[in-house]
Structure 1
Amino acid sequence: MISKKVFSAPVSIFGRLLAAVYVGQFYLVYRDSKQVSALTQHFDTLVRESEVEARNAGKIIRDMFEQAQG
């Protein structure tokens, strides 16, 4: 099996009616139900493909912060 990594621009989902994608200095905001649904599915895929489980995220972020501090 070939391993793959999934990357994404930051995505925020606000229920079924609104979703936003951060693209640098501004956000693209979607209100169309098909687009919001597609971004929701994309977000779900990101969660499933994550190498880090939610319960370990805090420790990993702290470790990364400490490494960056030197």
Structure 2
Amino acid sequence: MNNITHKSPSYRMAVAQAVVSVSREETIAAIREGKVPKGNVFEMSRAAGLLAIKNTSNVIPDC
């Protein structure tokens, strides 16, 4: 491993975007209104993203 203690911290930002296709308009309305029976779709996607970030080193070699 290389010694990187001399490197200064750097600020990085990532932006993600998705397209969701559903078969019924009622589904989109339920998502927008927060009435999905299983809970908030956006909070679940954030949690899934955090889990994916934590597993990056297991998926990408030499990361």
TM-score, normalising length from structure 1?
Answer: 0.28
* Greater helix share, structure number: 1
* Greater strand share, structure number: 1
Higher relative contact order (CA 8 A, sep 6+): 1
